[in-house]
Amino acid sequence: MDQLRPEFYKKLTIHRHQEDNLRGVEEFRKAMLQETITFDSSVTPNNNSPSYEQGTKVESKSSMFALIRYPLVLWIGIVLLVELILYFTIRQIVAWWEYLYFWTGRAYDLRQNLRQSTNYEEWKDSALELDEFMNKDEWKRKAEFSYYDHDLLIKLTKKLNQHRLQKNTKKVRELLVQAGTKANFGNVEDIRLYTHTYYGTKLVAERFLQEVKKSLDFVGESSEISDYDKYKFFKMAYKNYGRTALCLSGGATIAYYHYGVIKGLLEEDILPRVITGASAGSMIAALAACHTDDELREIINPDMCALIKPCSEPSWVKFRRFIQSGACFDHVDWALQTQWNWQNFEYFSYPCDSYSPSKILNYLTAPNCVIWSAVLASSAIPGVLKPITLMIKQDDGTLVPFYSSGLKWRDGSFKTDLPLEALNTCFDVKYTIVSQVNPHVSVFFYDHRGSVGRPASHRNGQGWRGGFVLASLEHFLKLDLKKWLRVLRDLELLPKLLKMDWSFIWLQKFEGSVTILPKVSFWNYWYILTDPSYNRLNHQINAGRKSVWPKLHPISNRNQIEKTIQIWLKQLKAIRVKEEGESSDSDSHKKSLATNLEVEYTPIYQRSAENAEYNDTNLSETTTLEYDEEDNDTDSLDNSI
């Protein structure tokens, strides 16, 4: 297998044996041992001292609660089981009905061509052919649709086009600030716009997005406004439009499908610069964040299975360790295996520590946190890995435990699999791409009106999957299942297995603006805690890559606007930095000359701060400070992951 791996993998393995890394793991081992002793010796932990039990609910001790608790849990469990059987029975009826009734003859052949595509261009051609066969082109040309404001988009598109052709930069800029660069303006990003076709959406929406991009380029190339005004405009557009983030779910070794998702996004050059991962997804997110796009293209292939060995121990060793310590795997061994290249990781975010509110760790909230300890903490599933001590790197390079809110941290996905609010707060994320492979969640994703790139076959895509009766029954059962799960959670009926509150694992938000659902093979569940073989990893990468293709069009439609804003913002920032450098040199020269003449010289941006009559178009001290902040923000365009 070493002969199959590219030279880059051999370079990666060198990092595992660096002296500093091994010394850090030794400090981690000592911290884990010390805190374990501290916990074992604490008979009655209090609320003020960090503890393994911190944040757990106080159970009611009333006799009535004790009397009816478990009978009620048993009764609810029976109801849930019956509803689950009915739910999946309905799903199977719909699947077979669609297969036998609709996918026959020419339609079947076209769908097979779609499924057997080997690259995105082939898939796109097959999708367009299916749309033509099913008369979807007529739906695309028709402007009316209840899920977006077509009249508003048509009006704005015409105005932007008119002013752009007339070279009226001021009007174009005003329209873009007021409407064109607003996130989801006119509901143009609503995913339901893409659920009625295999590829594409309403032509009104497509033309609007194309016109916004042309108008942004027009403003950036215009000579009628100064570079400073352009900079302010694109900075405002950047804040208004927001950023895109890729969120990778957990799922144990099923999370290796994320490699294919990342590869599919890379192939179209639309991999977001902000990446978050939970549980097993944090490991894949860390790999993506530690390397450039070119390196990722080289790394992500089936040969990397030679480096993925966290579950290589025999089953009897895992079982013995579970009996002795309550965890199947050794945290120190995993720490050694996650050493490669961690020191290059600077910006990464994911939730962990499910006892206190879940934390988002990134270069803003925890700049000194060592990445391998954070990844282990996010992967610390009860029964699989013991709670982890987070480590931080001090100025002198030594590693010490991170005591923020609890001595030990574990998988935060039990409460927050997708930290959407934190992403918006820290990185102004307004559009999320979610790769969801959690086995207990993905099986319940079902769109009764069709999904992106997979419209409903009933009534030529305009009806309900399986008809309205079956669709309504499916929806009713899903809502009723959630109702009973909320009852279990709110009444605190579930016992805490492995000292964890499991009531949140089905009651979260698991979808994003676009949700990618790789088609998981049944056998992957059998190997859920097993290292991948070459063939299995090859299947997972290809399946993950193909699952991206139906979602690429809505993602790229947004990405073209976001990337245009970012490109112009970076170019204008570089011009401003260059001008400031020249201005600084000129100020130094003038100050030297003024000193020789015994006259004090003060640069204009300092004077303007002292003079209240200067307006905001001058280079005031406030503007200069704001510009320093802007530099920090725009630097994150390249490397804030």
pLDDT given at position 516: 94
**Higher pLDDT pick, 625 / 370:** 370
pLDDT at 625 over 50: no
- Sorted by sequence, the CB contacts under 8 Å of residue 187 that are 6+ apart come out as 147, 148, 149
Of the listed ranges 54-63, 201-210, 245-254, the least confidently predicted one is 54-63
Distances, alpha carbon 585 to alpha carbons 7, 578, 580, 608, 623, in Å: 46, 11, 9, 19, 19
**Higher pLDDT pick, 302 / 13:** 302
Residues identified as active-site: 279, 411
Q: Are 541 and 259 in contact (CB under 8 A)?
A: yes
pLDDT at 136 over 50: yes
Instruction: Give CA–CA dist 188/179, Å, rounded.
Output: 12
pLDDT given at position 193: 92
Query: How many CA within 13 A on the CB side of residue 38?
Result: 16
DSSP state at residue 393: E
- Sorted by sequence, the CB contacts under 8 Å of residue 328 that are 6+ apart come out as 318, 319, 321, 322, 383, 384, 385, 529
pTM: 0.78
> In the chain, what are the domains?
7-40+242-448+496-548 (3.40.1090)
Mean pLDDT for the chain overall: 76
Instruction: Give CA–CA dist 440/427, Å, rounded.
Output: 29
The whole-number average pLDDT for the span 245-253 is 89
pLDDT band (50, 70, 90) for residue 356 = low
DSSP state at residue 406: -
> What share of the chain has pLDDT > 90, as a percent?
34
Instruction: Give CA–CA dist 517/446, Å, rounded.
Output: 11
pLDDT tens digits along 181-231: 999 999 999 999 998 899 999 999 999 999 999 999 999 999 899 989 999
pLDDT given at position 172: 94
- Sorted by sequence, the CB contacts under 8 Å of residue 84 that are 6+ apart come out as 481
**Higher pLDDT pick, 588 / 296:** 296
pLDDT tens digits along 626-636: 333 344 443 33
pLDDT given at position 212: 96
- Sorted by sequence, the CB contacts under 8 Å of residue 412 that are 6+ apart come out as 278, 350, 351, 352, 353, 354, 358, 359, 378
**Higher pLDDT pick, 548 / 520:** 548
414: closest CA among 477, 481, 499?
Answer: 499
Q: Are 358 and 57 in contact (CB under 8 A)?
A: no
